[in-house]
Amino acid sequence: MDSLKRELKARGITYADVAARIGMSEATVKRMFSQKNFTLQRLDEILQATQIDFRDIALAGHDESRLISELSHAQEKEIIGDIRLFIVAVSVLNQLTLAQIVQVYRMTEAEVVQCLLRLDRIGIIELLPNNRVKLLVSRTFRWIPDGPIQTHFREQAYGDYLDAQFDGDHELLRLVNVMLSKKSIAALLDRLQQLAREFSLQHQEDARLPFEDRYAISMLLAARPWLPKSFQAMLREKPGASRTVRRK
């Protein structure tokens, strides 16, 4: 039952969709899933209505240990080297369908399918019949730190991302400079990591909503010891910094 729920979520199929396809109320479907109370006949109806292969859930195809949490350097380089492939990769990670990708971007259906085939070969997705997509990445999936894709964003996207007033709807920018102990800094970084995980989990939860009710939003988290260069130029030299320290 848990595997089936994960499979439905990965395909963007809601309980309401299941209810409509098998002729039951949404409340009844929710109750069946929460109580894990299915007859084999009912399970078969749901699998047929959602076009899910029983093998996918029986073999625990969504076992986190078998999913991809990070690509290789060569795979990222291939994705970032083709803007269409990169767009489709980000789109499927955001659980957009083929029709939705074509609706949003200036790409033909054939172009998107070609990209999906390449992503299938890379291993991010499994391309199913009727061009449906099954994600093969874990919840902790990330781009390689300092890899081709993060480098691309650092060189080209960071400036564009920050080139705004951050005073519009759904926008926020705060720059806070403080002095903390090492213990407090470690606690702060832990909270930022937790926030990033919650951000990702919320994406998974909202994936069941209709496409028109979801909006692209990016969050950039950063923290490091830093002073503006103009401040650094005014720092006093620390006593003994330029001297050779001798042992007694």
| CATH code of the domain containing 125 | 1.10.10
Query: Is 33 inside any structural domain?
Result: yes
- The reply to whether 167 and 99 lie within a common domain is no
- The reply to whether 47 and 110 lie within a common domain is no
Bridge partners (DSSP) of residue 217 are: none
What is the signed CA dihedral for 198, 204, 205, 210, rounded to 10 degrees?
A: 140
Where in the sequence is the domain holding 225, given as residue range(s)? Answer: 148-231
What does the DSSP 8-state code read for residue 212?
G
Domain end residue (candidates: 17, 40, 62)? 62
Query: Is 242 inside any structural domain?
Result: no
d(CA 226, CA 46): 55
Query: Is 163 inside any structural domain?
Result: yes
Query: Is 241 inside any structural domain?
Result: no
- The reply to whether 49 and 73 lie within a common domain is no
| Predicted pLDDT at 106 | 93
- The reply to whether 88 and 49 lie within a common domain is no
Question: What digits encode the pLDDT tens for the residues 163-213?
Answer: 888 888 889 988 888 889 999 999 999 888 888 888 877 877 787 778 888
- The reply to whether 108 and 47 lie within a common domain is no
| Contact of 70 with 181, CB cutoff 8 Å | no
Token pair 């899933």 in the structure block, residue: 33
Question: What digits encode the pLDDT tens for the residues 141-171?
Answer: 888 988 999 998 888 777 788 888 888 888 9
- The reply to whether 97 and 85 lie within a common domain is yes
| Contact of 242 with 130, CB cutoff 8 Å | no
Return left, alpha or beta for 240; rule: phi > 0 is left, psi -120 to 50 is alpha, else beta.
left
Task: Please give the tally of structural domains in the chain.
Answer: 3
Question: What digits encode the pLDDT tens for the residues 69-78?
Answer: 889 999 999 9
- The reply to whether 72 and 55 lie within a common domain is no
Query: Is 248 inside any structural domain?
Result: no
Length of the chain: 248
Query: Is 239 inside any structural domain?
Result: no
CA distances from 157 to 34, 149, 170, 196 (A): 43, 11, 19, 19
**Average pLDDT score, the chain:** 84
What is the C-alpha radius of gyration for the chain, rounded to an integer number of angstroms?
A: 24
- The reply to whether 87 and 127 lie within a common domain is yes
Tokens of 134: 């099954």
- The reply to whether 52 and 80 lie within a common domain is no
Query: Is 247 inside any structural domain?
Result: no
Query: Is 143 inside any structural domain?
Result: no
CATH number, domain of 36, equals 1.10.260
CA angle (131 as vertex; 128, 137 as ends), nearest 5? 55
Question: What digits encode the pLDDT tens for the residues 2-61?
Answer: 778 877 876 778 889 899 999 989 989 888 888 877 788 888 888 888 888 776 676 544
- The reply to whether 155 and 168 lie within a common domain is yes
Domain end residue (candidates: 29, 45, 62)? 62
Domain end residue (candidates: 38, 62, 86)? 62
- The reply to whether 100 and 164 lie within a common domain is no
| Contact of 9 with 207, CB cutoff 8 Å | yes
